[in-house]
Amino acid sequence: MNSEKLNRVSELIHSEKANEAQQIFSEIIPEETVQYFMVKGKLEQKFQNWGKAINAFSKVVEIEPENKEAQNHLQMIRNILNFWNPEMFNP
């Protein structure tokens, strides 16, 4: 049952229907699986909840150290958080 809902949430995130995805995700019973944390991470990332997204993707890597998708998401978030525009500081 959770697997079907997680698949549906993934489809909604991919279709840019994050609010609907969030609603369905809130009904899912948390579980310690790669699929659960990947979906959670992607959903948190959509809403720019960077800390929660990092925690979720880190959990995926903890469960499955070779998971390239989770590693790529973590790197992308770090790049976003480390980015700054020097032009902003030049009047």
- What is the average per-residue pLDDT within 38-58? 97
80 against 54, higher pLDDT: 54
Domain 2-89: what homologous superfamily?
Answer: Tetratricopeptide repeat domain (1.25.40.10)
CA distance 54 to 70: 9
pTM equals 0.86
pLDDT value for 91: 55
pLDDT tens digits, 22-32: 999 999 999 99
Closest CA to 42 of 63, 73, 4, 17: 73
Q: Where are the domains of the chain?
A: 2-89
CA angle at 36 for the pair 33 and 42, rounded to the nearest 5°: 135
Using pLDDT thresholds of 50, 70 and 90, give the confidence band for residue 89: low
